[in-house]
Structure 1
Amino acid sequence: MAEPSTRDRILEATAELYRRQGMPATGLKQISAAANAPFGSIYHHFPGGKESISVEVIRFEGIRYGEFVGAQLADTDPLGGIPQLFENAGALLESQDYAEACSIETIALEVASTNERLRIEAAGVFESWLAGLAAWFGPLGLDDDECRRLAIVTLTALEGAFVLSRTMRSTEPLVAAGHGVQAAVRAAAGRG
């Protein structure tokens, strides 16, 4: 297998640092060291510096998380499997000592009011995830508006539960959120 390019190492290192400590706490020298890349290569690959890296990290992580979650959804029944998805997310978070979560969420929280370019990029990722979730609910026979509503409920429950779980150092919020989302899905399916 080929070694990742310098550019890819910079993106991967930045994404991991953002997941662990957030964007403001991450410096370019730290990124360079974590990526095992010469400092000058950051500006070679990302002429706009930290903002340019951040845009690419949002895109890179959006695709990566989308594919990871999509694979989980492919094997899950939306009428009965949602609690297990949330419990699995909790187990993964716990195995990482609550240090890593969704870097898109972290960036969005940090820049939503201060950097329009990054806010728009993060919003685009969230919209793509919502579209995927809405499509997952589609086979339940619900209309498009109800599928989108359930997608929003699911994503906000998951992202909010990540914040609480990391803060409380407990999977309890993720477990509770999974059961709450499952109840909302069953209620919608019963109405539909």
Structure 2
Amino acid sequence: MGRRPGQSRQLMLDSAVALLRERGASGVSIDAVLAHSGTPRGSVYHHFPGGRNELILGAVQQAGDYISGLIDHAITGGAPGTALEEFGRFWKQSLRHSEFRAGCPIVALAVDHRDDLPEAAAVVNEIFVCWQRKIQELLLAEGVPADRVRRLAVLAIAAIEGAVILCRAQRSDEPLDDVIAGLAPLYRANAAQND
């Protein structure tokens, strides 16, 4: 039974995301993606004529879009505390599933892009700005004063991403629990100040 059209492309993107999460950008080679995905070598040049760089950027964009969707889903759940808890659950499940080996692919590219991938900085920044805007929208909708939403959104992203790193280092999801528990009352207090 053959593959569906586009299946090889998706398998390669998924493999590149997985490798980014576990090994960083330097661990994502064409050979590693092919071995991980089980796709034929010719598929790379068919789907990613720009080679490794195009594949990595496509994988990071896919991962960024996926996490943006999670933020959107968490936002529909209601208050900032609920959204934070939903996001925390996602990361805890992801960390446990990988036995604390896999972190955020966006962070992986942010800290491990090379000079041969100059577009990486702009793509990573665009993804983080998108996440920040989504969190700001939620905070504004919850009544947090406009002059505070940017800082609180940055704090959430930095704290959660940092917690994911600590979770990997400690092989425990406790840092993530601590960050969520620390952010939720801060968000509630800021929303209450506007009432």
Give the conservation status (yes or no) of the 8 Å contact 2:74–2:86.
no
Corresponding residue of 1:182: 184
Q: Within 5 A, what are the aligned runs for 1:28-107?
A: 28-79=30-81, 82-83=84-85, 85-87=87-89, 89-107=91-109
Q: Distance in 1 between matches of 2:76 and 2:60?
A: 23
Query: What secondary structure sits across from 1:13 in the alignment?
Result: helix
- Show structure 1 runs of 5+ residues with no match: none
Question: What is the DSSP-based 3-state SS (H/G/I as helix, E as strand, rest coil) of the residue aligned with 2:119?
Answer: helix
Question: How far apart are 1:83 and its partner, in Å?
Answer: 4.6
Following TM superposition, the consecutive aligned residue runs of length 4 or more in structure 1 with deviations greater than 4 angstroms are 112-115
Q: Is the contact made by 1:76 and 1:82 (CA closer than 8 Å) also made in structure 2?
A: no
- % identity of equivalent residues: 24
1: CA distance between counterparts of 2:115 and 2:128? Answer: 16
The one-letter code matched in structure 2 to 1:121 is V
Partner of 1:121: 123
Contact 1:20–1:101 (CA<8 Å) still a contact in 2?
yes
Question: In the alignment, which residue of structure 1 is the partner of 2:172?
Answer: 170
Alpha-carbon offset, residue 155 of structure 1: 0.8
How is 1:127-142 mapped onto 2 (pairs within 5 angstroms)? 127-142=129-144
Residue identity in the other structure for 1:136: L
| Number of residue equivalences | 191
Describe the SS at the equivalent of 2:9. helix
| Shift, 1:80, TM fit | 6.0
1:21 aligns with 2:11: no
TM-score (norm 2): 0.86
RMSD: 2.3
